[in-house]
Amino acid sequence: MAEHQLRIDPAGAPRATVVIVPPLFEEANRMRRTLVLAMRALAADGFAALLPDLPGQNESPVPLAEVDLDRWRDALAEAVSGVESPAIVASFRGGALIDHKANAEAWWRLAPVGGASLLRTLLRARVSADREAGIASSIQVLQDQAGAAPLLLAGNRLSPAMIAGLGASEAQAVRPLRSIGLGADGIAGTPLWLRAEPGEDAAMAQAIAADIAAWSKTCGIS
């Protein structure tokens, strides 16, 4: 079943298409406005920008409990294969865990994070909420349960395969890759993906778009 995509086109024929791989789970919501601002800035600079829904996320018809990281990798590869101009994959945080199967001309990653760290935060949120509600809970007990049945973590019903995949997943080598963080050597801005209440940062969005455009040029794409 086809997933929705948010696509922002430039005025003329695109120089290239930047496929945005958002952070995973709650972090995606916290970043979404800034990502879309970056997409608009890319379009103003002549790029097409594409933000595909991952199966089980946003408007997807697929239940989240039926997907795992491999399904996301395949879905992303399919979205990239449908792009007509040269594709640059731009991944944020946990997005870097699922971007390597795509057939792209270049990759760009901001603040990639290991799956184990994301999973630990999700498990902790569940433990913290359980304890607040007076329910005895621990990361170990939850992890044992997760082997057999989907587990509800911070509002996400995750399959055993998703939880096992996250626990073992690291960003994979791709080429050519520019991988940066926040700060002096990377993008000026704050880690909006951590923010308890979603914010937005127009200057950070501009910096993201400019860095991707410069990387595209370095790679000889446009």
Partner 1 sequence: MTQANSVDATLRALLADVLGLGEDRAAALTEDSGLFGELPEFDSMAVATVLTEMEDRLGIIIDDDEVDGEIFETYGNLLAFSLRKVTD
Task: Kindly list the residues in this chain that would bind partner 1 in the complex (CB under 8 A).
Answer: 26, 117, 120-125, 127-129, 131-132, 138-140, 154, 190-191, 194-197, 199
Cβ(122)–Cβ(136) below 8 Å: no
Q: Show the tokens assigned to 122.
A: 């999700």
Q: How far is the CB of 142 from partner 1 (least distance, A)?
A: 10
CB of 93 to partner 1, least distance (A): 12
Smallest gap from residue 36 Cβ to partner 1 (A): 19
| d(C-alpha 37, C-alpha 59), whole Å | 20
Residue closer to partner 1 (CB basis): 162 or 219: 162
* Cβ closest to partner 1, residue 101 vs residue 120: 120
Cα separation, 107 vs 175, in Å, equals: 7
Closest among 70, 83, 76 to 102, alpha carbons compared: 76
Q: In the complex, what is the shortest distance from the CB of residue 84 to partner 1, in angstroms, rounded to a whole number?
A: 39
Which amino acid, residue 36? V
CA distance 113 to 191: 12
CB-neighbour burial class of residue 81 (10 A; exposed 0-12, middle 13-18, buried 19+) = exposed
For partner 1, give the closer residue by CB, 101 or 195: 195
E strands in the chain = 5-8, 17-21, 48-52, 87-92, 106-110, 151-153, 156-158, 177-180
Q: What's the min distance (Å) between Cβ of 208 and partner 1?
A: 17
Query: Nearer Cβ to partner 1, position 120 or 157?
Result: 120
**By C-beta, is 80 or 118 nearer to partner 1?**
118
What is the closest distance, in whole angstroms, from the C-beta atom of residue 78 to partner 1 in the complex? 31
3-state secondary structure of 63: coil
Q: Could you give the angle at which helices 160-168 and 115-132 cross, rounded to 10 degrees?
A: 120
Rank residues 51 and 122 by Cβ distance to partner 1 and give the closer one.
122
